Structure 1
Amino acid sequence: MTDRLPQGLRSDALDNRARILDAARALFSTEGLDVPMREIARRAGVGPATLYRRFPTKQALVTEAFEDQLHACRTIVDEGAADPDPWRGFCLVIERICALHARDRGFTEAFVSAFPGAKDIAAERARTVRAVAELARRAQETGRLRADFVLDDLILVLMANRGIHATSPAHQLMASRRFATLLIQAFEAGPDTAPLPPAAPLTNG
């Protein structure tokens, strides 16, 4: 009995951790990052003390909860950058990044605002922005991406995509795909393309 007890405790701890992460992902996705930690504990069926033992800060919970999305974001940008046609790679990134963020309101909030203290998310945001900036530069050199596209336009895209509200997750994704297609058409350079107004500084809120 005593030989099995530590293994049993480890199993319980892992189960609690998994329930906390599942609850956090579900609540962050629908409610955003302002959801209280106590509500996450309640949804997970654990006490607040158990939650804080596993995740001492909300920042730690946010970072862990969005690990899969961060990996997906990395994969999308790397795939776009690897395309020999920079414009096609740029379009792929816009389409898939919008779809990824349409599925999870909390991830968009964390990514766009660089959630305070969530260092992994802030670092991944910086890496993504740098990679998209290089891809955009290459697409502009081909003449396909309009010359007045600037990096803040990517953050503007995600902020606008976050504002889409639909009657179901499926319709949310459909609306996001349509939005991405409209954006791509607006980003493509053409002989009659009118210049954009000056870019405005964006807050991180």
Structure 2
Amino acid sequence: MDKPLRKDAALRRSAILDAARAVFAEEGIDAPLDRIAERAGVGRATLYRNFPGRTEIALAVLMDDVADLGARFEDADHDEAFIDFLTALSERLVRNTALGGVVRAAPSNELLTPLRAAMRQACAGPIKVSQAAGVIRPDLTSADMRVLSAMLGAGLHQAAPRERNAIARRTLELVIDAVRTRP
């Protein structure tokens, strides 16, 4: 089990993740890592002590986003909980399309295992609530989030900024239609 970080180390790590999220959103996944360190107010050594490389930083940002989604929908008890979960995920993907490239280009499948597990855990509650209400398909499982998140992000890959919102909106409509129960 990982030892909890000291308060100052946790604050530095959080600052790095916030800076990485902003820099990747503004400049793309290939932005200089020094820009992240500068924006976070830490030195390069601190950045690399926390994250050995670009992929690890990007995956940590994604894990942080998934944890936030999980916390946001943990106690969701309204019928459309899973639809709202998908909408929130889509919004995050639109804000930072660069992060999707990291998942597609991950050097090994094992690197993505914790992210996939976190996503399954984050969506499990909303799926259960929406299935109980008859809003979404009864055969949908949290494991399907691997496909659904790929669908939500795929259309954004290399989309021009001016068309990104329209593509995201249409993709979300199609994904929601795919998970809803049929009359």
CA distance in 2, matches of 1:126, 1:104: 21
Match of residue 145, structure 1, among 136, 149, 172: 136
- Give the TM-score normalised by the residue count of structure 1: 0.57
2:4 corresponds in structure 1 to none
Match of residue 105, structure 1, among 81, 86, 97: 97
Larger of the two Rg values belongs to structure? 1
2:58 corresponds in structure 1 to 62
- Give the TM-score normalised by the residue count of structure 2: 0.62
2:80 corresponds in structure 1 to 88
Secondary structure of 2:148's aligned partner: helix
Q: CA offsets per residue over residues 85-114 of structure 1, 9 Å max, x none?
A: 2x3110110011011012223433456787
How many residues of Structure 1 are paired with residues of Structure 2 in the alignment? Answer: 161
2:160 corresponds in structure 1 to 167
1:26 corresponds in structure 2 to 23
Unpaired runs of at least 5, structure 1: 1-13, 192-205
Counterpart of 1:26, as a letter, is: V
Counterpart of 1:62, as a letter, is: A
CA distance in 2, matches of 1:41, 1:75: 24
Secondary structure of 1:148's aligned partner: coil
CA distance in 1, matches of 2:22, 2:107: 15
Quick one: percent identity of the two aligned structures? 13
Unpaired runs of at least 5, structure 2: 1-11
Distance verdict in 2 for CA 1:134–1:30, change over 3 Å: same
CA distance in 2, matches of 1:140, 1:41: 43
Distance verdict in 2 for CA 1:29–1:177, change over 3 Å: same
1:201 corresponds in structure 2 to none
Secondary structure of 1:55's aligned partner: helix
2:178 corresponds in structure 1 to 186
